[in-house]
Amino acid sequence: MVSPETLQKVFRHASIAQLTIQLPMMILFKPICESIGIRFLEAPFPSWSLMALQLLCFMVAEDHTTTGATARFTGDRSTSTFTSSTTSTGPYIRCLAGSTV
């Protein structure tokens, strides 16, 4: 089981990254695009069915590679559960991946 201190540490680091790195990029994306002449809202998008299929394929591939990479980093060979890791990074990986597994 992951300790409350570890959960607080992970939450604090994730929150700081969200506020200091990702939020400014999201806020500045549209003004930067417009300043260099990109009209991103007028882009020709594919049909909804094609986008849905592409997103589904991406999510399956991303989940598969993330699960495999986590299993390799933690030493877990079953790739279906993160309970048998033997390295020191195991608790941190389980803490981060626990909500998606």
Q: What sign does the CA torsion over 61, 65, 68, 74 have?
A: negative
Residue 32 has pLDDT above 60, yes or no: yes
| Cβ 70 vs Cβ 98: under 8 Å | no
Q: Is the pLDDT of residue 28 over 90?
A: yes
Q: Read off the pLDDT band of 70 (50, 70, 90).
A: confident
CA pair distance 69, 47, nearest whole angstrom = 33
Task: Name the pTM for this structure.
Answer: 0.38
Per-residue confidence (pLDDT) for residue 12, from 0 to 100: 93
Taking the C-alpha atoms of residue 54 and residue 32, their distance in angstroms, rounded to an integer, is 27
**What is the rounded average pLDDT of the residues 75-97?**
51
Q: Which of 11-15, 43-47, 65-69 has the highest mean pLDDT?
A: 11-15
Residue range 45-52: mean pLDDT, rounded: 88
The pLDDT of 58-80, averaged and rounded, is 79
